[in-house]
Each structure stands twice: as structure tokens, then as C-alpha cells.
Amino acid sequence: MIYEAKKILLKNGKTVVLRSPSEDDWQAMIDYITCLASETPYILREPDECDDTEQSERAFIRRYNESRLECMIAVFDGDKVVGNCNLSIKNRNKVRHRAVLAIGLRKSHYRLGIGTTLITELSIIARSVGCTQFELEYVDGNYRAKGLYEKCGFVEVGRMPRGVRFEDGTYADEVLMVKPL
Ligand SMILES: CC(C)(COP(=O)(O)OP(=O)(O)OC[C@H]1O[C@@H](n2cnc3c(N)ncnc32)[C@H](O)[C@@H]1OP(=O)(O)O)[C@@H](O)C(=O)NCCC(=O)NCCS
């Protein structure tokens, strides 16, 4: 799915552009995900797992843009990608009402309202294709994510105990949240 460009005003008075990345944004997307993986322990990828190539990143972007069931929105501050979110709708008829979201931002752009805006935009898309339920997972201890999701109306419905193992051998639960659309 393609998300058409939209300019949004942030809490600091600056603007960013939300749009589906094009294949030509492959380098900016790799730079972004590499930065994200080094800035937060709360996404699954570690920095040494950011080994995308031009070819693999172009294919990844193309997959989202051509899909009926998936959508990616990237956040552009000038030419730089500073955030992104993905929507994935389940494929079979019995579960086609369920949309799963994932979201991330560079630290430089935390707390400016971007997370809230991205969830609002994804909700509109999910509803427009008939989804009635929004789902996500976050890693226990990620208080920023918990705060954002609770503010947007998600509630905890379950946990995968020790769902994540960090490099130092400690574990954290994966928390499952749901919101009606
Ligand atoms: C989690 C994340 C997406 C939040 O996005 P954000 O743009 O900073 O969120 P917003 O500015 O829209 O804030 C929305 C609400 O979240 C809560 N929140 C955000 N940061 C918070 C913090 N540091 N402490 C407490 N609550 C916080 C607040 O309720 C806030 O509302 P308010 O600003 O009106 O008080 C961002 O911190 C991020 O990308 N983190 C790294 C990647 C990550 O953890 N992704 C989630 C994986 S599940």
C-alpha cells in the first residue's frame, strides 16, 4: 500500500513529512534502521544485524509498497529518515480483521508527537480496509512505548514470559496489547 505524502507540524514548531519510502530511499532507510538499533535495546534487531544491502532494502521497500496487506510510513526530516511505522494485516479471512503495528523513531525526534500521529494515520488506513482490531507487542521496560500505547487506547492482554533475551543474558517479557478500531 502507498501512503501519500503528508506534512505534519511537530510540538517544537518544525515540520516533517510522512510518506511511503520509495526504492530510491534505500540508503536513508538503512542509515535510519542502523541508528535505531544502536539507540534502543527495545527493537529486536541489534546493530550487527543491520546488514542490509541496496538490493535487499529496495526489495523490502517494494514489498510494502506493492502489498495489499502491508503499509510502511517513513518520517522524513529533509532527506533524513527519522522514524517509521509498519502496518501488517493478517492474510486469512478469519483473521483479516486484525492489524499489527510496529513503530520507531530516532532519539532526536522523541516526544514531539510523531508516535501519536503515526498511530492515528495507521488507524485510519486499517479501518479503511475493514480491520476492527489493532495489535502490537513491546518489550517490558520500554516505558516510552507503554506510555504512547496506553495514551492511544491500547490495553495489555497478555505476556510472553522471557520473550526477549538481551546480550548480557537477562530476559524481558514481550507484552501484547490490543485496541478495538
Ligand atoms: C516509543 C516511541 C515510538 C514514542 O514515540 P514519541 O513520538 O516519542 O511519542 P509521542 O511524542 O507521540 O508521545 C505520546 C505519549 O507517549 C507517552 N510518552 C512518550 N515518551 C514518554 C516518556 N519518556 N515517559 C513517559 N511517557 C512517555 C506520553 O503519554 C506521551 O504523551 P504526551 O507527550 O502528551 O505526554 C519512541 O520513543 C521510540 O521510537 N522509541 C524507540 C523505538 C521503540 O521503542 N519503539 C517501540 C517498539 S514496541
Nearest Cα to Cα of residue 76 among 24, 37, 120: 24
Predicted local confidence at residue 32, as pLDDT? 97
pTM: 0.96
Nearest Cα to Cα of residue 8 among 154, 103, 109, 131: 109
CA 136 to ligand 1: nearest atom: 48
The DSSP element (H or E) to which 171 belongs, if any, is strand 171-180
Tell how far the Cα of 77 is from the centroid of ligand 1, in angstroms. Answer: 18
CA 110 to ligand 1: nearest atom: 8
Predicted local confidence at residue 150, as pLDDT? 98
pLDDT digits (tens, 9 = 90+) for 59-82: 999 999 999 999 999 999 999 999
Predicted local confidence at residue 102, as pLDDT? 97
Tell how far the Cα of 142 is from the centroid of ligand 1, in angstroms. Answer: 9
CA 104 to ligand 1: nearest atom: 39
Taking the C-alpha atoms of residue 76 and residue 82, their distance in angstroms, rounded to an integer, is 6
In the chain, helix, strand, coil percent, each to 5? 35, 35, 30
Tell how far the Cα of 112 is from the centroid of ligand 1, in angstroms. Answer: 9
Tell how far the Cα of 104 is from the centroid of ligand 1, in angstroms. Answer: 9
CA 147 to ligand 1: nearest atom: 17
Measured by CA distance, the residue closest to atom 14 of ligand 1 is 148
Domains of the chain: 6-130 (3.40.630.30)
Predicted local confidence at residue 70, as pLDDT? 97
Tell how far the Cα of 83 is from the centroid of ligand 1, in angstroms. Answer: 12
* Residues of the chain below pLDDT 50: none
Predicted local confidence at residue 160, as pLDDT? 98
Dihedral Cα 56, 59, 117, 6, nearest 10 deg? 120
Predicted local confidence at residue 2, as pLDDT? 97
